[in-house]
Amino acid sequence: MKKTLITVLALMFLLATSVGCSNSNSVDTQANNPPINTNTQGTKVYVLSGENDFIIISNGAIVLTSGLEKFVGGELSFKGDGLSGIKNYITEFYFFMDEVKTSININNVSIDGSEDGIDITPDLGTTSAETIFSTDAWNTLTQAGALHFSLSGTLMNGESFEYTIVVDVKDIF
């Protein structure tokens, strides 16, 4: 929990400094997609976490300011022995809105020409933009059980794997 708090505070500081230095001549994309955080005095912070019998997602965050939305996937770890000898893998955060899968963050990693394979990186990546979530998407995403994470891929021996978990989204600030 201490590590999560430090991560969130660091993100808030970085966002505050980047928003303060943003270019005022940027294109206004907010007209058709209003910002989720209409609180002009502060920042909204949500933490992401989840686990199943094999994987754990921790230290993820969604940070919303009046001018920037940031999705931080957090860290992936394994319960017990992790996977090794991987030829390729995909990590993806997504949710369903009106029965349509909507991806928030996707990472695709592969290796060619090696017989040993690769390991899965614990860093699940970051996405940021003026607007990531429409109001309807945000309303769907903040419902219990709406955000999902998937880890899938192929081992060097040709065997495939796939793990999915429901990710909790909790408002902390």
Q: What is the domain partition of the chain in residue ranges?
A: 2-21+42-171
Cα–Cα distance, 42 to 149 (Å, whole number):
28
Residue 132 pLDDT > 60: yes
- Give the pLDDT score at 38: 47
Q: Mean pLDDT, the chain, as a whole number?
A: 79
Residues 6+ apart with CB under 8 A from 145: 166
- Give the pLDDT score at 142: 80
Per the model's pLDDT, the better-predicted residue between 43 and 155 turns out to be 155
Convert the pLDDT of each residue in 83-121 to its tens digit: 888 999 999 999 998 888 999 999 999 987 777 889 999
- Give the pLDDT score at 53: 94
Whole-angstrom CA distances from 16 to 7, 102, 133 are: 14, 28, 19
Q: Are 19 and 67 in contact (CB under 8 A)?
A: yes
Lowest pLDDT segment from 113-117, 125-129, 143-147: 113-117
Confidence of residue 29 (pLDDT cuts 50, 70, 90): very low
pTM of the model: 0.76
